[in-house]
Amino acid sequence: MIRLVAYIAGGMVAVLLIGTVFGDRLATYDDETAVLLFGAALGALTFLVKPLVSLISLPVTCLTFGLFALVINAAFFALAGRITPGVEVTWLGAFVGGITASMITGIVFSIIDDETVKE
- pLDDT per residue, tens digit, the chain (119 aa), is 788 888 999 999 999 999 888 888 899 999 999 999 999 999 999 999 999 999 999 999 999 999 999 999 999 999 999 999 999 999 999 999 999 999 999 888 888 776 665 55
Domain boundaries defined on the chain: 2-118
According to the model, what pLDDT value does residue 116 have?
Answer: 62
Look up residue 1 and give its amino acid. Answer: M
According to the model, what pLDDT value does residue 119 have?
Answer: 55
In this structure, the chain runs to a length of 119
> What pTM value is reported for the model?
0.88
